Structure 1
Amino acid sequence: MPRETHEDRSGAARPDAYRRAADYVAAALIYLRENVLLTEPLRPEHLKPRLLGHWGTCPGITQVYSALDQLVRERDADVLLVTGPGHGAPAVHANLWLEGTHAAYDPALSRDAEGLRELSRRYCAPDGFPSHLSPAVPGTLHEGGELGYALATAFGAALDAPGRVVACIVGDGEAETGPTAGAWHSPKHLDPETGGAVLPFLHLNGYKISSPSLFATMSDTELTHLFRGYGWDPRIVDVTPDGAGGPDRPDRGDRGDRSELADAVADAHTAITAIQRQARSAEAPDPRPAWPMIVLRSLKGQGAPAEVQGTRIEGTFHAHQVPLPDVHEDPEQLRALEAWLRSYRPEELFDEEGRPVPEVASHCPEGDRRIGMQPAADGGRLRTPLDLPPLAPHAVDLGEGRGRTTAGPNEVLASWLTEVVRRSAERRDFRIVSPDELASNKLDAVLAATDRAGTWPVDGYAEHLSRDGRVMEVLSEHNCQGWLQGYLQSGRHGLFPTYEAFASVVDSMVNQYAKWLKTSREVPWRAPVSSLTYLLTSEGWRQEHNGYSHQGPGFINNLITKKSTVTGVYLPPDANTLLVTMERLLDETGKVNVVVSGKHEAAQWLGLDEARAHCAAGASVWDWASHGEPAAPELVLACAGGIPTVETLAAARLLREDLPEAAIRVVNIVDLCALAPADRHPNGMADGRFHALFGTDLPVVLDFHGYPSAVHQLLHGRPRPDRFHVRGYVEEGTTTTPYDLLAANGTSRHDLAITALAHLEDRHPKARALAERHAAHRDALRAELRRTGVDPAEITDWRWSA
């Protein structure tokens, strides 16, 4: 935990001096590694060898930070800041250093000249702070960037946090993204009685990397109409300075003691508390509350030189990143940089030891009210484990026999999740987010314990919809990802069920989040947050009716490219293994997990105790499905996934009938990452256990739920991976029947038997003829289903028999 610091903050606060100090420090972080307070003339050797950072957004970030500081000091507001323009990290670091948060987490970053020098040396240096926000930066729970889900993340952090104001800076380039466009609808899911509030700042500084932003081309009237149409109450604040000439010139409406922006923030806070007060009182709540938001017009890179060598900088895209990129070689640019830095008059802002003067320091809140010390930004410390109900009352009893008892895995899981929702009702720390697919995926039993969240009235028929619902449904995977990420990062729990084919909509978002979690593990003061778990259902093998576009299991491939310490992939073959898997993952921290489960009625293979043992092992031999000498098999039939399990067991049955003298072992894999060597994945099996399952030189025919490349990637590093013959989805699909889809991809029971027989030919001469017979039968079945339009009864009515 960070230490508390107490420093002299006496003296009247001066917001204008504070902003000058923050802008100076931000610019110094981009350029300087020595002489950080310009106590001597600037020389090339004082510069960093590489200049990295995005100056253009920094002055606007500081303006927002400064206004929020005033709100906290004047009203004791509980403020969490989510910064969408994450590459404006120099501004965030500057504010954290000035308020003393950096020193609280690391005494080496003390609020004096030596601490500032150390901060500057670490920024964009090996093993230091990156050029964007990261888990190493206190007060942050989101990296930011052009992906555009800062706003949705902010709403996730505000859910079930009634005293919290989540301020969210949305850059005008970021605002062009689809995720941001969808997130503007989020207030329609935010309960003003039980939730906090989000105060967005759309930061219009006019430019992206090299072109104008679209929002900056809009008039105030157009912007007002747009955001009122979304349901917001927008306030436009223009802080572009009058005249020209650097940071000395006043912002519009800046009166020294406070700014027009600070007034707008205070007014917005008054409106927020009024909405919440009405919702939390005996009065009827406003059915369509218009939450305040602020459109902040500012100058791109305000304070930078207006023009250098004939090129306009301030107020143009040339200020977006490093405004003076050639200061090492160009004496004129070096002189311009020194003039720019000295225009902030650092000698007025810092004392002889480099400490912020009282007029600057006293602007900052104190203690945990400092924005950088916000507890929710290190939500793992707020997290309490879920109260998980026992599994036994919900488990499937194999009363009709193994493989003959049927159940819908998702319906069984939904029964258990209903109790999870009930047990979490008092603490309000568990939510389900889903892109309008809860009922479709057979999980709607949870609506017996809660409703769907919706605050705006519905003109028409609706079921299970109320302000305080714990299920968040919206046709935007981006919103679901952002909401859940913010909810988990601020200390709570959740689950993300979605169609398997559409999970890839958030590929880039999960990429960034997995990297965030990996880095978080390397930050000693961060506590782990609840794992983010995707339940992928409506899986590709049962999307034969929806067609080729819905047959996409590639989300697994994306996830296993991420750091193994923060990823897991689980393919429970039946309802009981799904229950056991979900119990484990909802209690876990610090990871991104994918669980693939079918929603249709299907055969059940393991009792609850067997399922616990199987899931603990990650993979195990199913002796009851194997035949021949168990200790000396000739071949292994392996499977991973619900549909592949059925096909593999059907293939094992065919081989037992065709070739009873052969010894064949059946292995089921529930934890896909168990296939990896133990030194490459924490879930990986040790060599001895791996060889006990798959032998050392046996051929293995492995039927896999997804793309075969995922299995081959995990097997890399195992001895003789070439003996694994992986069958899976190979991009063959259309609107057809389930069996035809399997056969088209070579994963049907007949294809598996054919592949196995090809590896048994040397020992069993009749294997080739048997393989030819199965091929002919497979082709006949495909021809017949084309005539009838349905799979034959021998496929649909097949049941396991010992």
Structure 2
Amino acid sequence: MEDQRATQVATNEVPGAALSDYELAQIDAWWRAANYLSVGQIYLMDNPLLREPLQPEHVKPRLLGHWGTTPGLNFLYVHMNRLIRERDVNAIYIAGPGHGGPGLVANTWLERTYSEVYPEVSRDAVGMKRLFTQFSFPGGIPSHVAPETPGSIHEGGELGYSLSHAFGAAFDNPDLVVFAVVGDGEAETGPLATSWHSNKFLNPARDGAVLPVLHLNGYKIANPTVLARIDPEELDELLRGYGYRPYVVEGSDPQEMHQKMAETLEIVFDEIEAIQFRARVEGDVTRPRWPMIVLRTPKGWTGPKTVDGKKTEGFWRAHQVPFGEVRENPEHLALLEEWLRSYRPEDLFDASGRPVDLINQIAPLGERRMSANRHANGGTLLKPLTMPDFRQYAVRLDQPGTHRAEATRILGQFLRDVMQANLDARNFRLFGPDETASNRLDAVYEVSPKAWDATHCEFDTDLSVEGRVMEILSEHTCQGWLEGYLLTGRHGFFSCYEAFIHIVDSMFNQHAKWLKTTRHIPWRAPIASLTYLLTSHVWRQDHNGFSHQDPGFIDHVVNKKSDVIRVYLPPDANTLLSVADHCLRSRNYVNVIVAGKQPALQFLDQDAAVKHCTHGLGIWGWASNDQDSEPDVVMACAGDVPTLETLAAVDLIRQYLPELRVRVINVVDLMKLQPESEHPHGLSDRAFDQMFTTDKPVIFAYHGYPWLIHRLTYRRRCHPHLHVRGYKEEGTTTTPFDMVVLNDLDRFHLVMDVIDRVPSIGAHAAYVKQMLEDRLLDHKAYIRTHGADMPEITQWRWPYR
């Protein structure tokens, strides 16, 4: 019977009307009202109810926004509202076609939520005028489904992420249904294509449900869409191949389409409830074939059929503003008025401009409204993580620079216990693109395997439908899952190879912009920070070669607003523990942590590490010898490998240039380098001058591209004396030390930099410099003969004399 009903719906043979005449009238009234309000937002700034003939001055001078996808979004919204009321569904709505902003704003206004959070946009004629005027208007709101829109966790200005956001929201939310509308233009993006596979990671027993709706309206900005133009049977096979059971709702007649969609949703929700019952009550762990809907409607549905004799509805011309020059062109003004009046606003709004009871009765109540659902304002649900004391994982040190450890392996033990402490709360997950073990975080598998609901083989390990470690070889999908998880009030952690985190540059952009915007929206509660661990980094990708060497994500991150981003470069395991603990407790930030995974020297015991991280940077007195006088040179460093090379350089200076007074400064929090006027973590000019001096040479060994340090410090008094070494796009498959040599970041080059920049060094410096150059030649010859670095490099320890 289930398959028979599916076939009937797919062929548009609806077995009996799902809606009574009154329900049909309610749904149609809401839909017409939402469409009317959407057109009004795009075009009008006065005369919102057309109580007088439309005049040019009633129309906005600049017409902005997108109409084409909006009527379809409105259609789906009202049908979800009916189902929510009928079944008491706990649901949120994700609009993948983000340019449908006027539609989502219209629906939240009809639901009363918009006026609750923005009382000045009242639910009457006065408020309607404000609603219209503010849209895509200076001082108003964007055209997207933006953070300002109640009920939104997904802006959609950049396409491709609606489905991964939806699944992230559904993880660990067993009572939630995420209604995810995927635009057919969006469906052409790589991130969206991959995210269909998220159904292999959803646990029907413990997670919520995602109901994807692929909305085919046929066109993008100026071209047809692929999925709308392939054979329907081919599309059906594609979606079934992804593991879904697709139901097709197709047509253009509103009355017929309302009946078809209502019937389809009843079938679909019956299936969802049956899947969850089998998993939760009967214990059936077989991966289900989740239902989805394919909605095929004309682009710009219910808008003008033609404009100036050219096809508009059902064509790309309906994508944005179907016609302009309304103030100047009387024919266009008349066309706009005819279009608006076609929705019969006099039947939809009373004398004061309030929606009539026919509309009000279909709206869900309280938090069941999708625009008022607390999951779409996840900070209101956020609970702090239960955190173990990170100090208990510390590497014990008797002396700095004599003991080796793998920093991320130590961190993995801490994250394991964070996950253990929050298993019952089910509010913490680890995300990464098939790199958890590679990045030395595999201790987490002692507590939870990887989430997996596809086929299992008897020899598989660490795979379970109950898993809380999320791995798929798609940085986009990992990022989308994590964003959806965070935005709905939970916590997460994302580890990734440093070079390939660039894949989500744009996604990071959008999330950072979201956080920046929400800081100025009082009703948006803070969410847990998005924390990246970037490891397998540039200086230890010598075996993978040039393709895996790129530290530039940091440069990208620091372009964003200072009240959102934080960048940390812990030099060893104990500082990494302190930084990670801080980041997991933080709110409304994007934290970037860069740390190596290979065995490396450790420098600070736990007490010193906590103090150092609290300050964000500091003088390492144990490595300096300027305590009783001004330094001759400042040796600064940020990053684990640059710190090692800096200390090794200081050791050489002590041996060959013992008269020099050297101050060693390590930077953990990169934003400390900026002035306090530019970043809340920035040092005051006075404190910066005291630490770095104003007139002494500063040799700065930095993890990434050297010009970023210049950019952060260009206003400091010492900047004319600052010389930065870092990565300069030189790399290959070679030894670890040769990687730093290729980029002039090695200890020998750093000492030569000191010789070139400290005027007080005597004539013997020429002999020292020649000796250093000879050591570089020895290094090149040695690695070509032995295939490994010289013992004096691999066995170096911080000396105690």
Q: If the TM-score is normalised by the length of the shorter chain, which range does it land in?
A: over 0.9
Aligned to 1:7: none
Q: What is the alpha-carbon distance in structure 2 between the residues aligned to residue 173 and residue 215 of structure 1?
A: 9
Give 3-state SS (helix, strand or coil) of 1:14's partner: helix
Report if the CA contact (8 A) 1:62-1:95 is conserved: yes
Q: What is the alpha-carbon distance in structure 2 between the residues aligned to residue 657 and residue 760 of structure 1?
A: 17
Structure 1 position 118, deviation (Å): 0.9
Q: What is the alpha-carbon distance in structure 1 between the residues aligned to residue 64 and residue 770 of structure 2?
A: 64
Structure-to-structure mapping, 1:617-696, within 5 angstroms? 617-696=615-694
Q: What is the alpha-carbon distance in structure 2 between the residues aligned to residue 721 and residue 136 of structure 1?
A: 41
Query: Please, which runs of 5 or more residues in structure 1 have no aligned partner?
Result: 1-10, 242-249
Report if the CA contact (8 A) 2:96-2:182 is conserved: yes
Residue 537 of structure 2 is aligned to residue 539 of structure 1:
yes
Q: What is the alpha-carbon distance in structure 2 between the residues aligned to residue 609 and residue 240 of structure 1?
A: 69
Aligned to 1:509: 507
Structure 1 position 384, deviation (Å): 0.7
Report if the CA contact (8 A) 1:484-1:494 is conserved: yes
Instruction: Compare 564-573 and 762-771 and name the one that shifted more.
Output: 762-771
Give 3-state SS (helix, strand or coil) of 2:723's partner: strand
Aligned to 2:281: 281
Report if the CA contact (8 A) 1:145-1:174 is conserved: no
Q: What is the alpha-carbon distance in structure 1 between the residues aligned to residue 636 and residue 218 of structure 2?
A: 57
Q: What is the alpha-carbon distance in structure 2 between the residues aligned to residue 611 and residue 630 of structure 1?
A: 25
Question: Which letter does structure 2 place at the counterpart of 1:68?
Answer: M
Structure 1 position 763, deviation (Å): 4.1
CA shift digits 1:685-706 (9 cap, x unpaired): 1222212220111111000001
Structure 1 position 630, deviation (Å): 4.7
Q: What is the alpha-carbon distance in structure 1 between the residues aligned to residue 383 and residue 217 of structure 2?
A: 41
CA shift digits 1:580-628 (9 cap, x unpaired): 0000000000011110111111111101110010001110000111124
Structure 1 position 280, deviation (Å): 0.6
Report if the CA contact (8 A) 1:758-1:768 is conserved: no
Question: Which letter does structure 2 place at the counterpart of 1:655?
Answer: I
Report if the CA contact (8 A) 1:58-1:90 is conserved: yes
Aligned to 2:14: none
Report if the CA contact (8 A) 1:435-1:480 is conserved: yes
CA shift digits 1:29-48 (9 cap, x unpaired): 00000001111111110011
CA shift digits 1:137-161 (9 cap, x unpaired): 1101111134301100110000000
Residue 65 of structure 2 is aligned to residue 66 of structure 1:
no
Aligned to 1:588: 586
Question: Which letter does structure 1 place at the counterpart of 2:324?
Answer: P
Match among 595, 600, 603 for residue 597 of structure 1 = 595
Aligned to 2:384: 385
Structure 1 position 269, deviation (Å): 1.3
Structure-to-structure mapping, 1:229-628, within 5 angstroms? 229-241=241-253, 250-254=254-258, 259-285=259-285, 287-399=286-398, 401-459=399-457, 461-628=459-626
Structure 1 position 251, deviation (Å): 4.6
CA shift digits 1:396-419 (9 cap, x unpaired): 1004x3211111101111111111
Query: Please, which runs of 5 or more residues in structure 2 have no aligned partner?
Result: 1-21
Residue 174 of structure 2 is aligned to residue 162 of structure 1:
yes
Structure 1 position 549, deviation (Å): 0.7
Q: What is the alpha-carbon distance in structure 2 between the residues aligned to residue 628 and residue 429 of structure 1?
A: 49
Report if the CA contact (8 A) 1:83-1:144 is conserved: yes
Structure 1 position 737, deviation (Å): 1.2
CA shift digits 1:96-148 (9 cap, x unpaired): 11111111112211211111111111111222111112111110111113430
Taking a change above 3 Å as real, the CA distance of residues 798 and 306 of structure 1, as seen in their structure-2 partners, is same
Taking a change above 3 Å as real, the CA distance of residues 420 and 630 of structure 1, as seen in their structure-2 partners, is farther
Report if the CA contact (8 A) 1:500-1:552 is conserved: yes
Aligned to 1:225: 237
Aligned to 1:4: none
Question: Which letter does structure 2 place at the counterpart of 1:122?
Answer: Q
Structure 1 position 788, deviation (Å): 2.2
RMSD: 1.3
Instruction: Compare 733-742 and 433-442 and name the one that shifted more.
Output: 733-742
Residue 121 of structure 2 is aligned to residue 123 of structure 1:
no
Aligned to 1:109: 121
Report if the CA contact (8 A) 1:758-1:767 is conserved: no
TM-score (norm 1): 0.96
Structure-to-structure mapping, 1:731-742, within 5 angstroms? 731-742=729-740
Structure 1 position 776, deviation (Å): 2.5
Structure 1 position 224, deviation (Å): 1.1
Report if the CA contact (8 A) 1:630-1:665 is conserved: no
Give 3-state SS (helix, strand or coil) of 1:334's partner: helix
CA shift digits 1:28-70 (9 cap, x unpaired): 0000000011111111100112111110000000011011101
Structure 1 position 460, deviation (Å): 5.3
Q: What is the alpha-carbon distance in structure 1 between the residues aligned to residue 628 and residue 406 of structure 2?
A: 32
Residue 177 of structure 2 is aligned to residue 177 of structure 1:
no
Report if the CA contact (8 A) 2:97-2:159 is conserved: no
Q: What is the alpha-carbon distance in structure 2 between the residues aligned to residue 572 and residue 618 of structure 1?
A: 10
Aligned to 1:5: none
Give 3-state SS (helix, strand or coil) of 1:192's partner: coil
Report if the CA contact (8 A) 2:755-2:761 is conserved: no
Report if the CA contact (8 A) 1:573-1:642 is conserved: yes
Q: What is the alpha-carbon distance in structure 2 between the residues aligned to residue 21 and residue 629 of structure 1?
A: 75
Report if the CA contact (8 A) 2:689-2:717 is conserved: no
Question: Which letter does structure 2 place at the counterpart of 1:270?
Answer: D
CA shift digits 1:157-197 (9 cap, x unpaired): 00000000001111100010000011000011111111001
Give 3-state SS (helix, strand or coil) of 2:194's partner: helix
Report if the CA contact (8 A) 1:305-1:313 is conserved: yes
Report if the CA contact (8 A) 1:560-1:710 is conserved: no
Question: Which letter does structure 1 place at the counterpart of 2:390?
Answer: L
Report if the CA contact (8 A) 1:627-1:660 is conserved: no
Q: What is the alpha-carbon distance in structure 2 between the residues aligned to residue 16 and residue 196 of structure 1?
A: 30
